Amino acid sequence: MTWQESVAEAIKRLTTRRKSHVFTREELISSEMEQIVREVDSAGATPEQTLSRVLQELRNQEFIAFESPGVYRLLPPDTEGKDQRTLQQIPVLDISPNPHNPRLIFDQEELEELKGSIKKVGILVPLTVYRNVKSFPDTPYVLLDGERRWRCAKELELPTIPANVIDEPKDVTQNILFMFNIHHYRRDWELFPTALKLEKLMESMETDQESVLSNFTGVSRSMIRRCKRLLWFPHKYRNILMERRGKISTDFFIEVYPIAQRLSYEEEYSFPEGVIRLTDALIEKFLAGNVVVDVKEFREVKRAMVFYDESDNFGEFKKKMEDFLNRGAGLNIFTIALEDERNLSALMRHVGYVVSILENTNPATLTDVLVIEQLNLLSGKLSKVLDELD
């Protein structure tokens, strides 16, 4: 049984039990997820993310309709979608882009490829728009889904474009949530534009909890965490972060974040002026290209920072940082204690040994209670460490 088939049957069971066509994603997870996983024989580690993707697919097929964040409605078989959306041919110039679209960057090469496809076969997937009752923008319709197709149609000077018309979102928050729920599983957005829209959601929803934001938007918690790290930096860096394929990427800020965030508690690096001084200096080092050539090399600085912090000798780390920033010292000054290096070397040896054993061992032979207990302990430790590293 496929994921779509299993989830569709699960939705029918759930709504029958509840005697209501309306259900929530969380109800589906709590009451049906175990059976779904059994039916699809899934060995994946992220069934909840897969469920979110499948719910989006079932919405596209008009098996279910989106009611509000995390809430859906099973559409009756004889009237699927009739009251939910209406397909029309709409003049291209009667549509405006959505001002709340988290995708703010469009790759021109990809647009050229899409234009070539539209010239050959036309627009096969309709846009999703809503009727505009406001004075801005000054068009009868506003986009919710399909800005790339709309841009191409406009450049090709097509007179009309197929579009499904739905009700206007009730407010900015719902508008952004619609955009997340419609778009996210089709094509990943650039990270910083996504972060800017998440920032608006966090303000309007008055929460920055990753679990809440993930449930409402369908964006993974790890991606939300990365977005929050970008938003932490002073606003002066936002133009840099918006540059597509710029010399200073989002990866730079994500690697530098743990260093800058910890140092911000120290008077000489306090937020925002101290953080700006530190970040500017690190950008200068990186752009010089002779001290730091890969943003991942900042992890050496982070390792040293953690070592000196845990050794109650953070002053020594700050001294090394000043030498690095202002006195021409290289990354080698952050080389941490020999004992820690030995521990890392031993870890690499033992990890390789354990991986080799597991690859060449039949899981059916690992039935000893003590072995299972130790493997569970190892799994928990690894998950915790990887989560912190992420």
Pick out the chain residues at pLDDT < 50: 78-85, 185-187, 338
Measuring CA to CA, which residue among 180, 178, 90, 71 is closest to residue 131?
A: 90
Domain ranges for the chain:
3-79, 86-168, 235-334, 352-389
Residue 322 pairs in a beta bridge with none
* pLDDT 10s digits, 75-120: 876 444 444 446 789 999 999 988 766 555 667 787 888 888 788 7
Alpha carbons within 13 A on the beta-carbon side of 133: 6
Measuring CA to CA, which residue among 167, 184, 154 is closest to residue 55?
A: 184
Q: pLDDT at position 79, please?
A: 42
* pLDDT 10s digits, 236-249: 999 888 876 678 88
For CA atoms 90, 91, 94, 97, give the dihedral sign. positive
The CATH architecture assigned to 3-79 reads Orthogonal Bundle (1.10)
- Coil vs helix vs strand at 41: coil
Alpha-carbon torsion, ordered 320, 326, 331, 332, to 10 deg? -60
Measuring CA to CA, which residue among 249, 279, 243, 286 is closest to residue 264?
A: 279
Asked if 68 and 180 touch (Cβ cutoff 8 Å), the reply is: no
Beta carbons within 8 Å of 306's beta carbon, 6+ residues apart:
none
Which helix (H) or strand (E) is 356 found in, with range?
A: helix 338-359
Instruction: Output the pTM of the full model.
Output: 0.50
Q: pLDDT at position 215, please?
A: 66
Buried b (16+ CB within 10 A) or exposed e, 228-262: bbbbebeeebeebbeeeeeebbbebbbbbbbbbeb
Q: pLDDT at position 187, please?
A: 47
Q: pLDDT at position 102, please?
A: 54
Taking each helix axis from N to C end, the angle separating 191-205 and 172-183, rounded to the nearest 10 degrees, works out to 140
Buried b (16+ CB within 10 A) or exposed e, 275-284: bbebbeebbe
For CA atoms 345, 348, 352, 354, give the dihedral sign. positive
Beta carbons within 8 Å of 167's beta carbon, 6+ residues apart:
130, 131
d(CA 129, CA 341): 57
Q: pLDDT at position 80, please?
A: 41
* Domain 86-168 class, CATH top level: alpha beta
Q: How many CB atoms lie within 10 A of CB 53?
A: 16
Q: pLDDT at position 247, please?
A: 81
Alpha carbons within 13 A on the beta-carbon side of 377: 6
